[in-house]
Structure formats: structure tokens, C-alpha cells
Structure 1
Amino acid sequence: MQLKNTIFSLSRRFWILIILALFTAVTVAACNPANFKSSAAQTPRLVTSILSDPKTFNYALSSEVPNVFGLIYEGLITENYETGEVEPALAESWEVSDDKLKIVFTLRDALKWSDGKSLTVDDVIFTYNEIYFNEAIPTDIRDVMRIGESRKLPTVRKVDNRRVEFTVPEPFAPFLRSGTGAPILPAHALRESVKTKDAEGKPTFLQKWGVDTPPDQIVGNGAYTIERYDTSERVVFKRNPYYWRKGPKGEQQPYIERIVWQIVESTDTSLLQFRSGGLDSVGVTPDYFSLLKLQEKQGNFKIYNGGPAAGTTFVLFNLNKGKRDGKPLIDPIKSRWFNTLEFRQAVAYAIDRQTMINNIYRGLGQTQNSPISVQSPYYLSPKEGLKVYDYNLDKAKQLLIKAGFKYNDQGQLLDAQGNRVRFTLLTNAGNKIREAMGSQIKQDLSKIGMQVDFTPLAWNTYTDKLANTLDWEASMLGLTGGLEPNDGANVWSPEGGLHMFNQKPQAGQKPIEGWEVAPWEARIGELYIQAAKELDEAKRKEIYAETQRITQENLPFIYLVNPYALSAVRNRFDGIKFSALGGAFWNLHEIKIVQ
């Protein structure tokens, strides 16, 4: 999975990532076209917005959004977010062997890169064997393609000029969905950087295609290419003239020639620009819903409701007991609190999620209890026995006292050694909904004697703490979702790149001494391995049910609210097939501007 903050998911698939802002708040926001003046200004285009600049143009090194990759790349397959079915992309077909251990993909004929060079089976081999499976390159793709207890990766070999074979050492249920939809990358543009080492012995690929790279040097195979990038202002995409898709009459797709992402700092700004008439779409947050609903006809737009969003939002504590250079990542006193199960459960009981839904979400959401999306066939509901933490201050206090905490005369919570319970809760700045949630959590936890210092941070500062320095105490985040739970393997494997509640250092980072994995934590990782090799769907569902029971009992993530996926889209677009999984523009290639 990936960090999420844009309307376009990677290769139209949901890789798990941290939400920069609530999905419905930013997925299709847009900005006034008058702010963008160029010769392309009169070209039919879709104008949307994002809350922060892209961090890289190198797909393999990306683990968050906003990112450009869903527009400029495709993989062998994709998903239809209306039907949930796997569909051909760069591969026109595939065959699965009877023993389920091999898939042979046949590429479409005459595929080209955006620079006009031929896209071949050799590019597929290069992408997997030299980038995704290269241990010297820190990429999350490996986590979702590791197989069994051995954690082996598939072997990928060339069959002939149009066919490529993937082989796994044992049955792997998510074989087709997990990994084979990842972008195919250009060997002719990147191979040299993979082979060349810098002064530290690392591939120069790790510095390749940063956001300072001239856009015309970025080679892709998707519907669009990057035309220009103005830092803190906009990213502009133009139609890729070599894109493979054609319409029913043989016409070039996509039909929309340009896309503009305006970079804005708040969802309030996006709303104002949408209401001014210059935007094409905006994510509808609960505080905007009533206002926009009254203006649908006048503003010539429609609000789409896809039901519960596919992603998750949660609070988590840093459970990492390790040290760097002899210094604990987390104050040992606070680390003892966070690693006490009753402490985490007390926090869960003390957060008034229904009030959060009523006041912040204006009733447009539901409580969330599972790491698996409600749309997934593997989702376990509370009615099926999943544990929930309904608001209960008495129960929260009882758990704390049971764990040795106590209260002073002022009602302040102290640990057994008399230390005042106080910690910092971080989140990303710029989203009113997220900031309101943090403020309520601060107030809710004060009722059980905890002092919470709620601190929204700039996105880059925030993610640096989460992924690199690891010196944070508590955080409020979100992850993308989807139909296949194994796409979350990079979260639930203790070795995974997004195992953020107890993060192991990734390639190139300073080592951590004393990093420990709790038994329940290891068990979740084992169950994900077991589920991935189980081909019996009923048994597979039960395995994932057990993972959900363990997560809700041990609370590495304290889940909050699942908002409804709501977006307002101007009526000038034909072909919208809105869904919670893909938003308004997941089928962008077939959407037309009708005025």
C-alpha cells in the first residue's frame, strides 16, 4: 500500500499508503484555470488539485501520494473499479497453468514508450528482475510479491518476443492481482543508472528522476506524460501520443488532452475555487456537503456518493523499543505506556467516534473497525464477531487502573512511578477534517486524564519522522484500501516498508539496536503468508478474519471513522463511473468533455 492523496491510484490499483488528507477531501479537488496561463489554456482539459508537491518522479522509490504514476504508467494488468474484475492493460491476455504456479502474459503488439521507442518483453524483465526484485533498491513492491515463509520472489523470464512468464515456488492466491499490475519501467532510460554505483556503492538509480528532473526526460507508457512541473504551483500532463488505447472507432484515447493539478495548501481553497466556477471537480467533505448540495443545479455539477470509502483512518502509537546510536527512539517511560495493551485499549474506548461522525462528519460516515476495506470479500464485520470499542470512559479508566496507572487529586493520569501521562499526537497539516479529529481526540483523552499535545506538521516533515528518523510518539494517519488484503503485506509483515507502528529501518537507513517483534505482531505476519498461499476461498477468508480479530484485540492501529466517498463533478464530463474504490476518474481514458 501507499500514502494516499490524489484522484488517481497507482496503475488504477490501490497500493497501501499514508493519507496526506482524507480521501474524499482531496481525491478530485481542482483549481481555477485562470491561474494557469499558457498556449495550452484553450485546450480541453481536466483541472484538479492536490495538497502538496509530488516527492519523486521515480515510481520504485515512491511510497506516498500525491504521485504522478497512475497517469504516466501502466502495468501488465489493471482493475475495473466498477466490476472489481482484473482486465488487460499492457498485456492483451494471460494464461494460468493448471498447478497455479505459472502465469504467461502476452504483450500487445507494437507497444511504445512516450519517447517513441518500442516497449518489449525486455522492459518487463528489466522492471522486475533489476528494479523491483533488486535488494539494493528500497521499493514496497517486493513486500506484496514475497511468497511463503521463505519470502521468495517470483522468477520472471522471457518466453519469446511477446510473452513473459512469472513462476512462483508455491501456490500464491493473489498471484495475478498482487504485483503484476505494477508499472512497467523503461529499460533504455533506466538500466544504466541501476548498474552504475555512487561513492557509497549504491545504484545511482536512487537519485534518478527526482522532482527536479526536466519533465521531458521522464519516459512513461501511460495515458499521459508530464508536460511541466512548477514547484508549489502545478503539475501539467499532456496526452501521450504513443498510448496504446484506442476508442471504438480507432480514435486516440484518452479523449481529454490535458490534465492540470493545481497545488493548493488547504481544502478550503479548493472549495472556494470550485464554487467560483473554475474547477472541474472537488472532493466533498462533510462540512461542504450541505452547501454544495444546494448548489448542484445552479453550479451545473453532480455530487456522487460511492458509499463507505475504501481507505482507513486511525491513531497509532510508536511501539518501537529500539535505539539508534545508543539513544532510544522513544522515551522509555512513554514506550512502556504505548506497549501496554490496556493503555491502547483504554485510548480506543475513550475516543467518542459517534460524536466524531455526528459533529465532524455531519453523519456522513460510519465507525471503522477493520484494516480490510468493507468492499473486500475478506472483510469481517462486527456482526460476524469483530471486536469494537464503543465509547466508554468507565471501561477506559478501569483498564488503566488494572495496568497500574493512577489518578492524582486533579484527575491527571499518572503511571505507577508517578509520571504524568503526556504525549504528542502528530498528523499532516492542511486538512480541516483531520485537524478537527485531532482536536476532538485531545479533548476526549483529557477526560481520562491524559494530556495530548496535538501537532499538525507539514507533509514532508511529517513523513520524514514516520519513515526515516522514527522519533515520533503518536500519530493519526490513513492508508489506501482495496479488494485484495495481500496488497497490505507491506504494512503487516514485520519487515514491511509500511510496518509503521514498529518500523524496521529500510535500505540505506541507520541500523536500530534492540528492535523487537511482539508475538501477536509476528502472528499477523505469519497469517498473511498463510492466506496468500491458501487457494480455498472459504479458508482464506477465515485466515484474514483471524488477522482482523488480532488487530482489533491488540490495536496497533486504533481505527476511527470511515467517511462516505463523495465527490462533486461538473456535468461537462461524459462517462463518469464513480466508485469508492476508484473515485470519479478511474476510467479516465474513456471520459469525454461534452461542452
Structure 2
Amino acid sequence: MITGSSRSPFAGQSRRGFLGTAGIALGALAAGCTAREPLPPTDGAGAAALESPVLVEQVQAGKLPALADRLPKVPQVVQPVAGEGKHGGTLHRAQTEPTDNASVTAFASAGLIEWNFEATGPQPSLAEEYTRSEDNKIFTFVLREGLKWSDGEPFGVDDLLFAFQDWIGNSTLVPAIPVWFADADQKLPKITKQDERTLVLTFTQSFALFEKYLCHPAVSIQLLKPKHYLQQFHAEYADQAELEAATRKAGFDSWDQYFADRCNPWTNPDLPVLGAYRVSKAAGPGGTATLDRNPYYHKTDPAGRQLPYIDKLQVQVLDQAALDLRASNGDLDFQGHFLGYNTTQVYLQNADSKGFRVLRWKPTASLLALAPNLSHADPVWRELFATKDFRHALSYAIDREEINQTLLGGLGVIRQPVSTEGSPYGIEGGGTTAIEHDPDRANQLLDGLGLERQGDLRRYRGKPLEFTLTYLDSNFEIPRADAFNLVRKHWAAVGVKINLRPVDDTLYLQLRVSNDFDIDGTTTPEDDWDLEPVWFIPTSPNSHTAPGYGMWYNTSGKDGIEPSAEFKQLITNWERLRTAATDEDRIAAGQAITQQHHENVYVIGLMKLPFKPVIVNTSIKGVREDEPKLSFYYGREGITKPEQIYYAD
């Protein structure tokens, strides 16, 4: 068996190798994040020193148990970035969508295991210990003794069984087992409860990505379901008549809708949680959400002082212009996600006078790109889009430097959307195919495909080459409408016409899953796509490149469009990656996928941001300065372990 603290399944995360500098950093961090001796009972001033004054008052009023009775027997110890911090304060943030739970995943997620500080591999969290077998099939988790939900109820293996068997395993609640928990043939793994603290998951196939999924904050939090609370909304546990009446009263048509509403930590303040904060007030459009500290949170600093340091978060829902204005005025305390890139200069001008710093974190999923529908319902367009020379011609026709100078002042990074060279799946020279502006080469390729120009100078393949580019309009990174209008001009010069169609997010998803679009304009990830393979491999009908193929894969050939041979090769390599028994096999399969995308340019990249601005109140300490990735897969701002940041003043 391989223990979670001795070897990461993510070897090869950099060209130096995980056991190089990253491994040394992990070892140093592990010394600060491993178990310690149980806290001794405290009282009076001792208790005040170990927890927030807000909680001390509740303990003294008899509303909360003493700290020693709220922490697990062996808490998880976190080494603060800027030394021992102070309890107290309210952190102000904002977001543009009322239903987006990004503040929960960044500041209040929890998991059996979590990313280490470098985000190169896992470390224990709610699980005090875990092991995995050499072949990536058996995963054993031993929970910390004495863990409690935010309402004080015990957390144990039965809660995990409820999440695995009664939520994921219930076809009404979850019609298809998600990729991050599915075994062979889309079935559940074998789930064994050894005792109240020990759970064993056994997969019939090697699952090379399982620990990586468990570290992903947006996944890990979904596996934590408080059975004692949620069973009252579950058809297998609740009285049928009472549940139906409660469902109707709450305004839902079916119990599964009601259950989904009740187990949403962002919109239901009554839901017990395990993260650093719990929502005490949900936010509607134009409203403000409030998150209070979880008095039963399982982490402390090395001195035994319970985390988080900061008592409260307030998250206001604003439109983009208002959010950027508040950031510029110093009204937001720690914000990266939702922050408009094009307001960066204003942030820099105001920083000193308004009391905040501007950090530059690495951009992820900011690469604006065009995804022709390679599984198009029209067989004529499907054949054309599937032709490599046609995609290369469209790419050569784009003057990316004009887009760069016009929209980003020449600072944008021009490349195609494939894994970067520093990532485990990166290849030498990746992302450079057909990237230069060469309209003569574009015309040569289009002529070679027999796409003749007629009187209106447009090219024809039985009918004029006229396509619709569908996209979600947004200006908070690269202004999409402006970029796509320039592409429209560039393509018109070589005889290809596109019409721009901005849509809302509901219609955008509907058009994709129904395979009813020509070209999708979207930002794409380059690295960590193995956590969301749909970006590079059509594994689902919400694919941006080939939803018809994704439907075929997702239904085992019962529906959708059968992929071409080259896309079947992509799928084969994805299966190799996912079921790899070793890191070497996983990385080799991932690099093969990258190589295929590099050569064929299935998605046509424009450019990405040079950095993501992050603003931090100058009084806040503990936010990392090493320019980490502001990535969904790492919890965005959560990569700095926000439970240990604090106000110095």
C-alpha cells in the first residue's frame, strides 16, 4: 500500500519531477500540516487565546461546548504563510452571479483529502490517514476521531455511505454516475465500511485520477452529505406523504428537486457543513450573502489556535462594472475570481491610496478560442470541419497580433489550446501549429479543398460557407464580441462568413447538448483538463468540440453520432489515461492526447491573458506571493489556504 503522506499519485507535475523541488516543498509543508497531540482542556483566558472571541462569548453563554469538545482528537495543523495570525474581522468580496458558489469552493470547501500547498499532490484532511494500492484500485480512508458538522452532530463513515450510495447511487438524484466516481461500465465502486472511522473504496479498474478528483474542491465538497439532516428530504428515508407535502409547500414538483435545493451549501443556510465557513444568509440578485465561521472546523495553527482566523465573509452580488468599481475603490478585501482584467490599470493607480495590493497570479482557462462543431448534424459541414486543412486554413487566416494589440495592448499570450510545456501532459513546441498569420497559406489550403470563390467572393461547398459563432458575451477577461468581430473580418478576407450570436447561459448549454451549433466561442483550459476531459475528449454531450460524439460515448453507442477513427483514438487514449496503473502510463497517454490536438488543431486558439489580477487589502496577511494559478481546479483563491489568512490590524 502507498500512504497518502509518503507518495503522490501526481508524479511528473513538472519537468523537474515531483520528487525534485516540489517533493522537497511538500515534505516541508507536511511537517506543518500533519497530526499533533490532542489539545488539553482549556478554560477562561486559555480558551480565549485558542479561539475567536466570537466563539468564546458563545461558550461562556452556554451556547457552544468548549473548544476541546468541538475539535477532533487530532486536528489538522496548518502552517500559516505569514506566521501566527489574529482572530477576527470580516472579509468583503463580490460576484456577478447570485447562484455561483465560487466563494464556498474557495473559502469553505472540505474534503477527505486536499491539495498540498503547491497543488502538486494530496495531503490528508478530514481523513487523518489514507492509503492507496500500488495499482490505483483500492483507496482506504481513516477519518479523524471526533469530527463534527457545523451543527455539532458527529461526522462519520455513515455520512459518506449516504453520499455514495443514497445520493450518487440513486438514479433519480444522479441519473448517471459522474466521471469522478464511476467504475467500469459506469457503476459504483465497491464501498466497504470497516468501522465507524474507516472506509474502503475498491475499483475493478485502476483509477489513476481518483485522488486528484478528491482534491478538487468542487468535487470533494459534494461527497460530504449530512445524513442526519438530508434524510428527511430523501424518498428512501422520509415518510412519503410528509415528503410530498413538504415538496409541494416548498414549490417543487418532485422530491429530487427539493433534495437538491436542501443540499446546496450556497443557498441553504440550514445545511450543516464541514468547511471553514457556513452560509448564514443566502444572496439573491443584488443581495449580499453572509458566511460565518464554523465553530467545529477541524483545523488549527501549530499553536493549537482554531482556524479560520477571519470570522466572517460578506459576498455582494453586483454587475461587472459595479464589481470592478468597488475593487478599484478598495472595498473588496481579497478578490481574484470575477475581477475584470481590463480594469487592471485602474487597480494599480488606486492601490496605494485605497489600501490594497495588486498581485499577478497565473491565468487559467482564459485562452479565448473557437471550437468548430466536429460532430455537426449537417453531414456536409461535419465533413468540412473534420478536415484538418480546413481548420488549419481558418487558423492561418486570423491576425492574432491585431487582436492582441487592439484588445490587450500587445500583452496577450498567443497559442493554441493544448497542454503547456511545463505540465505533465505538455510536449515540446505544443500550441504553435498554424498559429502565425498567413492569409496566402490559408487561401492555398482552401483552394486545395475545392472551396471555390464565386461572385460575392465567398467560398462554396454546394452552399456558401456561412456559419454562426455562438458564445456567452463577456468583457471581464478578453472582450469576446470585439475579438470575434476581428475574426469575422479576417475570415471574410479568405471567403468564409460568420455571424455572431451571443446567447444566455441556458440557451448556450442547450444548443451544445442538442448538437445544434456551428462554432462555439469560449475560453478553454490548457492544463488539468484530465479533471474535465470534455474539453479535450468528447466524453459527454456538453462537449464544446463534438457533442454528438460525446452523446455516443456517454450512451455506449445507443445515441448520438459515432465518432470518426481519429476521435476514437482520442477516446482510447483517454481510457488509457484514466485507468493507468502507474504515473508513467498516465502521463504517456496524456501526452499522446496533447500531440493529437497539437497536430490537428481541433480547437482554434486566439490568445490568453498574461496574468490574472488579484487584489488584497494591505492589512491582510497570509496571501501567497508566488503567483500561483487562479484555477477552478484548485479552488481559485483557495490555493492560498484562506483559513490561515488574517487581518494584521
Q: Fold-level match, TM-score > 0.5?
A: yes
One-letter code of the match for 1:277?
Answer: G
Q: Which has the higher strand share?
A: 1
**CA distance 1:508–1:104, change in 2 (3 Å):** closer
Structure 2 residue aligned with 1:253: 307
Structure 1 residue aligned with 2:323: 270
Structure 2 residue aligned with 1:94: 130
Determine helix, strand or coil for the equivalent of 2:352.
Answer: helix
**CA distance 1:215–1:507, change in 2 (3 Å):** farther
1:378 matched to 2:425? The reply is yes
1:276-295 deviations in whole A, cap 9, x for unaligned? 23222454655333333333
- Aligned residue among 616, 628, 648 for 1:569: 616
1:133-161 deviations in whole A, cap 9, x for unaligned? 5454448872134456x555532211111
Partners of 1:381 and 1:285 in 2: CA distance: 32
Determine helix, strand or coil for the equivalent of 2:478.
Answer: helix
1:314 matched to 2:369? The reply is yes
The answer to which of 202-211 and 552-561 deviates more is 202-211
1:432-488 deviations in whole A, cap 9, x for unaligned? 623232232222222222222223333344334334x543332222345655x5313
Partners of 2:344 and 2:396 in 1: CA distance: 29
1:368-415 deviations in whole A, cap 9, x for unaligned? 3344356532222416x97453222222222222223222234223x2
Whether the 8 Å contact between 2:488 and 2:498 is mirrored in structure 1 is: yes
Cα distance, 1:492 vs structure 2 = 4.7
The TM-score normalised by the length of structure 2 is 0.72
1:136-195 deviations in whole A, cap 9, x for unaligned? 4448872134456x5555322111111111222233332322346522222233345454
Partners of 2:198 and 2:123 in 1: CA distance: 17
- 5+ residue gaps, structure 2, are 1-87, 248-252
Query: Which protein, 1 or 2, shows the higher relative CO under an 8 Å CA cutoff with sep ≥ 6?
Result: 1
Cα distance, 1:251 vs structure 2 = 2.6
**CA distance 1:362–1:209, change in 2 (3 Å):** same
Cα distance, 1:85 vs structure 2 = 3.0
Structure 1 residue aligned with 2:352: 297
- 1:433-448 aligned within 5 A: 433-435=478-480, 436-448=482-494
**CA distance 1:79–1:497, change in 2 (3 Å):** farther
Cα distance, 1:352 vs structure 2 = 2.7
Cα distance, 1:545 vs structure 2 = 1.5
The answer to which of 114-123 and 99-108 deviates more is 99-108
Q: Which of these two proteins has the greater Rg computed from alpha carbons? A: 2
Cα distance, 1:252 vs structure 2 = 2.8
Cα distance, 1:72 vs structure 2 = 4.4
Cα distance, 1:212 vs structure 2 = 12
Partners of 1:576 and 1:244 in 2: CA distance: 21
Partners of 1:212 and 1:138 in 2: CA distance: 13
Determine helix, strand or coil for the equivalent of 2:413.
Answer: strand
The TM-score normalised by the length of structure 1 is 0.78
- Aligned residue among 486, 500, 508 for 1:462: 508
Whether the 8 Å contact between 1:106 and 1:162 is mirrored in structure 2 is: yes
% identical equivalent positions = 20
Partners of 1:302 and 1:140 in 2: CA distance: 45
* Aligned residues: CA RMSD: 3.5
Cα distance, 1:553 vs structure 2 = 3.4
- Aligned residue among 164, 167, 177 for 2:202: 167
- 1:504-523 aligned within 5 A: 504=550, 515-523=561-569
Determine helix, strand or coil for the equivalent of 1:303.
Answer: strand
**CA distance 1:356–1:93, change in 2 (3 Å):** farther
Structure 2 residue aligned with 1:368: 415
Whether the 8 Å contact between 1:382 and 1:388 is mirrored in structure 2 is: no
**CA distance 1:312–1:523, change in 2 (3 Å):** farther
Cα distance, 1:521 vs structure 2 = 1.8
Structure 2 residue aligned with 1:355: 402
- 1:153-302 aligned within 5 A: 153-179=188-214, 182-183=220-221, 184-191=224-231, 193-195=233-235, 204-210=255-261, 215-233=268-286, 234-266=288-320, 268-283=321-336, 286-302=341-357
1:197-254 deviations in whole A, cap 9, x for unaligned? 999xx98334424399863333322111122223212332222222212233333321
**CA distance 1:53–1:516, change in 2 (3 Å):** farther
Structure 2 residue aligned with 1:37: none
- 1:327-406 aligned within 5 A: 330=377, 334-372=381-419, 376-382=423-429, 387-406=433-452
Partners of 2:527 and 2:228 in 1: CA distance: 33
**CA distance 1:514–1:538, change in 2 (3 Å):** closer
Cα distance, 1:300 vs structure 2 = 2.6
Whether the 8 Å contact between 1:54 and 1:211 is mirrored in structure 2 is: no
**CA distance 1:203–1:117, change in 2 (3 Å):** farther
- 5+ residue gaps, structure 1, are 1-42, 56-64, 322-329
1:486-541 deviations in whole A, cap 9, x for unaligned? 313344554436433332459999x9965232222221121011123334444433
Whether the 8 Å contact between 2:361 and 2:612 is mirrored in structure 1 is: yes
Partners of 1:395 and 1:138 in 2: CA distance: 49
Determine helix, strand or coil for the equivalent of 2:561.
Answer: coil
